[in-house]
Amino acid sequence: MDEIKDATRNYLKEHVLNLADGGALNDDTPLISSGLVDSITTLHMVEFLEQKFKIEFEPHEVDKEHLDTIDKIGSFVSSKITG
């Protein structure tokens, strides 16, 4: 699960977020509910997770219940991988 969380964190830092001003990205930082990540960005992230971990998301799984924090992403992707 740590691998998933690291990959997600790196992805967000690399492609999405502008953290140059020192904004922290912790495992429990709200992503969707805080507006830090919008719907388009979420889809890019989902695409990344699908390709990286060879999984497939269902449309209703793209929501803040599963993807709002790095912790939640880690758990959800992990449960997908293990089936």
Partner 1 sequence: MARSMDILYAKDSKGRHLIKASTDNIINLIVIYLGLLLCMWFVDTYAVESAFHLSAMFKVAVFAWPLYLLLPLSFRPLSLSVITLAASFFLFPFKNALIIDAALLGFCALFLLPVSFRVKLALVVLSTIGLAIFFSLYRSSSRLASFIPVVTPFFFFRGILYLHEYRHKTIKERWSEQLAYFLLLPNLSAPLFPIIDYRTYINSYYDSPALSIYKSGFQRILKGMIQIWGYRIFYHYILIDFTQIHTPANALQFILPTFLLILRIIGLYHVLTGIIMMYGYNLPPIFNNLFFATGFSDLWKRINVYWKNFIIKIFYYPIYFRVKRIGVLPGMILTTFTCFQVSWALHQWQWYWLKGSAPITLVDGLFWTAFGTLVAYNVWLQSRPKDKNKVFHPVVLRIRQILLATGVFSMMAFLFSIWTSPSIPAWIALFSNVRVHSFKDVLDAFALLSIYLGIACINFIFLDPSTRIKGIKSQSWYTHSFAGMAFLLMVCLCVQAPISNYLQNKTGYDIKLMAMNTLNRADAEMMARGYYDNLMVGNNVNSPMWDLDQAKPVNWVSFAESPLCVNRNDLLEKAMKPNFSASFKGTMVTTNNEGLRDRYFDTLKAPNTLRFAFFGGSYEFAPGVDSSEGFKYLFEQQLHNDYQLKKGDSIKQTEVINFAIPGYCDLQYLRQLELQGMKYHPDYAFFFVHSKRHERCEQFLFREVQLKLDLVYDKWKEVVKKYKLEEFHTDAQRSAKYAEATDTLMRWTDEKLVKTCSEHGIQAVYVLYPATEDHFSEAEVQANKAYAEKLGFVFLDLSQVFAGENHKDIRLAEWDFHPNKKGHELIAKSLMQACVQSQKNLHLNINKK
The residues that touch partner 1, with contacts defined as CB under 8 A, are 20, 33, 35, 38-40, 43-44, 47, 57-60, 62-63, 65
Nearer to partner 1 among residue 59 and residue 83 (C-beta): 59
Residue 48 Cα distances to 20, 23, 35, 44, angstroms: 22, 23, 20, 6
Q: For residues 21 and 51, what is the distance between their CA atoms, to the nearest angstrom? A: 30
Shortest distance, position 33 Cβ to partner 1, whole Å: 8
Question: 3 or 65, CB closer to partner 1?
Answer: 65
Contacting residues for 81 by C-beta, under 8 A, at least 6 apart: 53, 55
Question: Could you give the angle at which helices 39-53 and 70-82 cross, rounded to 10 degrees?
Answer: 40
- To partner 1, the closest distance from the beta carbon of 5 in angstroms equals 23
Cβ closest to partner 1, residue 2 vs residue 40: 40
| Cβ at position 20, least distance to partner 1 in Å | 7
